[in-house]
Amino acid sequence: MTRRMGIRRRAELLSWVAEIGGAGGASFAVGAATGLVTAVVVHERLDVQPEISPAPIFVVPVLLLIATGVAVVAVAAVTSRRLQKRMDRTPVGEIMRV
């Protein structure tokens, strides 16, 4: 429908990627930040006997965070592409009725 209004196919796809990726990226950022802050605060308190070594070690799962970020981008791209294909097949009358 947007191409009928003069928007190119690539611009429409980038618009969908930005919208879906923005929502997914914001959710990922808030979740990761909340999880890391909570882990930092709690991990020292879980040691039953802090006077006995070794001290608890906090390791940030950097590889997992990067992999999850890549997955968010991939899901946004695939979802946007599928959405664009579906919008191409949907009659304009059905879209406007909703």
DSSP of 15-42: HHHHHHHHHHHHHHHHHHHHHHHHHHHH
In the chain, where are the structural domains located? 3-97
Secondary structure element (H or E) that encloses residue 89, with its range: helix 62-89
In this prediction the pTM is 0.76
Q: In percent, how much of the chain has pLDDT > 70?
A: 92
Q: What is the pLDDT of residue 53?
A: 81
41 pLDDT higher than 60: yes
Rounded mean pLDDT, 64-70 = 96
pLDDT digits (tens, 9 = 90+) for 5-29: 778 888 888 998 999 999 999 999 9
98 pLDDT higher than 60: no
For the CA atoms of 15, 19, 20, 25, what is the dihedral angle to 10 degrees? 120
Q: What is the pLDDT of residue 25?
A: 95
Rounded mean pLDDT, 49-75 = 88
Rounded mean pLDDT, 29-53 = 87
Q: What is the pLDDT of residue 2?
A: 66
